[in-house]
Amino acid sequence: METRKRAFLKVIILGDSGVGKTSLMNQYVNRRFSNEYKATIGADFLTRDVTVDNKLVTLQIWDTAGQERFASLGVAFYRGADCCVLVYDVTAPNTMDSLDAWRNEFLEQADPLHHDEFPFVVIGNKTDIQAKSEKNSVTQSWCSGKGNVSYFETSAKNGSRVEEAFQTVAQKALEQD
Ligand code: GTP
Ligand code: MG
């Protein structure tokens, strides 16, 4: 096995516009939240160091634009990703229906060695508005039908379950690396 000082892990967040991708990243990295909506243009990343299995790893978290539907990012952007986070909005059930398309697009572009084993984390966000997603059981079974997929319901606003979700992202990314 390769030995190195610190794992550097690439994570990509995908999902429809307005579901809270940027807000989740800001809550996780900066513990900040804003009610103001500013659509992301292109893609940008933040990093956070996190300990997994007593190892310090650096997560490089790429936030993307839901509006652009991956059009402008290109294959190079997705290559080398160690985990993909798929976000929907529990108050807008149609955004859950897009998860399949986002997952397929990721797999097509990133083209990891084993598509069925690639780690995804699905997040249903905005539980501060609606405590439980109507799509909870649909999403659970979608996740278990897809292999290596975990599911969390979070609030980027009050921080609920955000740490747990990204801890799992880090864990899965490290296993993938
Ligand atoms: P794009 O950049 O267009 O793809 O959207 P996005 O997925 O990055 O969404 P963003 O994080 O910008 O959030 C959209 C709106 O939802 C903003 O007004 C946020 O304040 C709000 N929002 C995000 N997460 C939450 C949440 O957990 N609870 C509540 N109440 N509002 C949220
Ligand atoms: Mg955004």
By three-state DSSP, how is residue 34 classified?
coil
CA dihedral defined by 29, 32, 38, 43, rounded to 10 degrees?
Answer: 0
Q: What are residue 60's DSSP bridge partners?
A: 10, 47
Position of tokens 């996740």? Answer: 143
Q: How far apart are CA 112 and CA 78, in angstroms?
A: 10
Q: What is the ipTM of this complex?
A: 0.99
- Note the ligand closest to the C-alpha atom of 125: 1
Ligand 1 binding pocket (C-beta < 6 A) is: 15, 17-23, 34-37, 39-40, 65-67, 125-126, 128-129, 155-157
pLDDT in tens, 139-155: 999 999 999 999 999 99
Closest C-alpha to ligand 1, atom 13: 20
Q: Is the pTM of this model over 0.90?
A: yes
